[in-house]
Chains A and B, each alone.
Chain A
Amino acid sequence: MKKNKRTIWRGELTTTGKLARRGWLFMSPGFFWICFFLAIPCLVLVLVSFCQREAYGGIDFTFTGENYSRLMGFGGLLGWTPDYIMILGRSLLTAAITTFFCVILSYPIAFFIGSRQGNSKYVWLTLLIIPFWTNLVIRTYAWFLVLAPEMPPARFAAWLGLIDHGAALYPGTFAVYLGMVSTFLPFMALPLYASVEAMDWSLVQAAQDLYSRRTRVFRCAILPQTYPGLSIGIVLTFIPCMGMFVVPDMLGGAKYMLMGNLIQQQFGVSRDWPFGAAISFFLMTITLVALIIIRKKGLKHL
């Protein structure tokens, strides 16, 4: 739109310059809002991650890579410590395991809803959508009630000798995974369902007619067709999982720290913003890498 040419656009005789000006008039408030409060702050965050912390929690703008070497475990009182790397590794592991369970649980429910007809389909779909919109804090603390010592799950575990009598099933790794999987399951199941709905069942039929084993039917006829939904589901599960801090904070107890908790701690009690920014930047990088990998893989399958 360099030249100011006369043009006809959707029934209007106008010039390209006029159109561009009008278009920007519509876009600029929202566009600049996102730039000003998200895009630029993210860049500032990267900048801050190379700064130092002032004595009272402010930011000292002398550039250093200290925050990153600290994240990799150097520069502590005892030389090298694996503490932060452990947290990063645990975040990746938790996100991977949660995603895995979400995938396993999402397939049956996606196929089930896909097989329903008419109104009953909408009822089941709405049942899946409601937890998706329910407040995270409520959903997380609700597990306190289910896992409380008086309730059947904890009693059963005590009867099996897994925990002491009168103990609760939280806080701990098990409770964190329960909370994580139940939080992210709808994020996986809904896009997967959308893919199942668009599936061409004659391919599955053909595979069965040609005596494929069930695993082969799934791998060659179902998986490639559901890949678009699956990849969106993985993005929606894996990435927020890495930055999650509510669930591990409430259900994991003091010892169960993930990257999200570490960031929250730096911006909260520790008031070490440069270090928090460094962890955030690390998380951003992982997010981008994950997005790129999934996009590449998705193209291969199409």
Chain B
Amino acid sequence: MKKPGLLLVISSVGILLFLYLPLMAVAFFSVNSSKYGLVWKEFSFKWYVRMIQDPYILNAALNTLILAVISTAVATTLGTALAIGMENFPWGKRLKSFLDSILHLPVITPDIILAAALVVVFMFLRKLMSIFEPGLLTMTIGHITFQIAFVALVVRSRIASIGHNVEAAARDLYANNVYLLWHVTLPLLMPGIIAGAMLAFTLSLDDFVISFFTSGPKSVTLPLLIYASVRRGITPEIHALSTVILLLTVILVFTFERLTRIQNRAKNNPAKGRK
């Protein structure tokens, strides 16, 4: 491809600035010591200190973390099993395309519809069991529902890229089912599983809509807290909190990129990528 013209460079940088300007403004005002108005006073970390002393914020952070860890753990397990089940067995064409559309369902359904559907199903379940009161449990179930599909899709592409020669070789050497799964399949899939888990974790941290519909009064997460405080009036602590979440996202994205790049390199050149 030829070298880009000056116009292309300027417009691209402009477009990226358009994406980053708001985020930079948040980071900028999070280290500003003035409480009211958007006027620069002096550099200070005091809002970060206030933030980690705020019991509401700490509680919400804890909820967010519990929710993300548990839902990611469950979704990664179920999603990986689903991917292995779909790819490693001789299914008929029709069953396969049916499974495929079920798998894509959580990806294409607008999240507000998933949220509405969950509200209705929890209402019915509540009549059977009282544990389905809106709270961390219902939120976790909601998150797992969309995470499974993303994990399965990532792991599936990993399965497709490694092929099944190693597995067939292990079979020839009399590996039984458990041994094959534990010592051959799972280790080979590990980069894909980790990438899928990180994707699921990030999705859970990011989610607002599902949490908003399924949360209870005691299960406030960070996005819900920020949303609520926007209604009440933003304080600089919220800027500090948002900046921390932003940085966390950046770290997660970088790690995820690294992983997928290593995986791609392994795909193109199997000898180099393996440890």
Q: A residues bordering B, Cβ < 8 Å?
A: 1, 7, 9-12, 16, 19-20, 22-31, 33-42, 44-45, 48, 59, 105, 108-109, 111-115, 122, 124, 126-131, 133-139, 141-146, 148, 150-151, 182, 185-186, 201, 235, 239-240, 242-246, 250, 260, 263-264, 267, 273, 276-277, 280, 283-284, 287, 291
Whether the Cβ atoms of B108 and A45 lie closer than 8 Å is: no
Q: Does B128 contact A (CB under 8 A)?
A: no
- CB neighbours (8 Å) of A139 from chain B are 22-23
What distance in Å separates the Cβ of A200 from its nearest Cβ neighbour in chain B?
A: 11
- CB neighbours (8 Å) of A7 from chain B are 90
4 closest A-B pairs by beta carbon, nearest first, are A26-B85, A11-B171, A30-B82, A142-B22
Known A45-B113, A126-B254; further 15 A-B contacts with Cβ < 8 A: A11-B168, A20-B89, A23-B85, A27-B85, A31-B102, A34-B106, A130-B250, A135-B206, A137-B227, A138-B223, A138-B226, A144-B230, A244-B112, A277-B120, A283-B112
B12, B29, B141, B167: which contacts A145 (Cβ < 8 A)?
Answer: B29
A135, A185, A287: which contacts B110 (Cβ < 8 A)?
Answer: A287
Whether the Cβ atoms of B145 and A38 lie closer than 8 Å is: yes
* A129 CA / B250 CA spacing, docked (Å): 9
* A264 CA / B110 CA spacing, docked (Å): 13
Across the interface, name the chain B residue whose C-beta is closest to A127. B16
Across the interface, name the chain A residue whose C-beta is closest to B106. A38
Whether the Cβ atoms of B38 and A30 lie closer than 8 Å is: no
What distance in Å separates the Cβ of A282 from its nearest Cβ neighbour in chain B?
A: 10
Q: Does B51 contact A (CB under 8 A)?
A: no
Of B99, B238, B257, chain A has the most CB atoms within 10 Å of the CB of B257
- CB neighbours (8 Å) of B63 from chain A are none
Whether the Cβ atoms of B112 and A45 lie closer than 8 Å is: no
- CB neighbours (8 Å) of A137 from chain B are 208, 223, 226-227, 230
Whether the Cβ atoms of B19 and A44 lie closer than 8 Å is: no
Q: Does B25 contact A (CB under 8 A)?
A: yes
Of A12, A105, A142, A146, chain B has the most CB atoms within 10 Å of the CB of A142
- Identify 15 residue pairs between A and B in the complex whose beta-carbon atoms are under 8 Å apart, listed by A's number: A11-B168, A19-B89, A22-B89, A26-B82, A30-B82, A38-B105, A134-B249, A135-B242, A141-B26, A144-B234, A243-B110, A260-B110, A267-B115, A277-B116, A283-B113
Whether the Cβ atoms of B38 and A148 lie closer than 8 Å is: yes
- CB neighbours (8 Å) of B90 from chain A are 1, 7, 9, 16, 19
A10, A23, A105: which contacts B15 (Cβ < 8 A)?
Answer: A105
Q: B residues bordering A, Cβ < 8 Å?
A: 1-4, 8-9, 11-12, 15-16, 18-23, 25-26, 29, 37-39, 78-79, 81-82, 84-86, 88-92, 99, 102-103, 105-106, 108-121, 123-124, 141-142, 144-145, 148-149, 152, 164, 167-172, 177, 202, 205-206, 208-209, 212-213, 222-223, 226-227, 230, 234, 238, 242, 245-246, 249-250, 252-254, 257, 261
Whether the Cβ atoms of B172 and A243 lie closer than 8 Å is: no
- CB neighbours (8 Å) of B79 from chain A are 30
Across the interface, name the chain B residue whose C-beta is closest to A126. B257
Q: Using A26-B82, A108-B12, A142-B23 as known contacts, say yes or no to A284 and B113 having CB atoms under 8 A apart.
A: yes
What distance in Å separates the Cβ of B195 from its nearest Cβ neighbour in chain A?
A: 13
What distance in Å separates the Cβ of B206 from its nearest Cβ neighbour in chain A?
A: 5
What distance in Å separates the Cβ of A197 from its nearest Cβ neighbour in chain B?
A: 10
Across the interface, name the chain A residue whose C-beta is closest to B164. A10
Whether the Cβ atoms of B206 and A33 lie closer than 8 Å is: no
What distance in Å separates the Cβ of A191 from its nearest Cβ neighbour in chain B?
A: 13
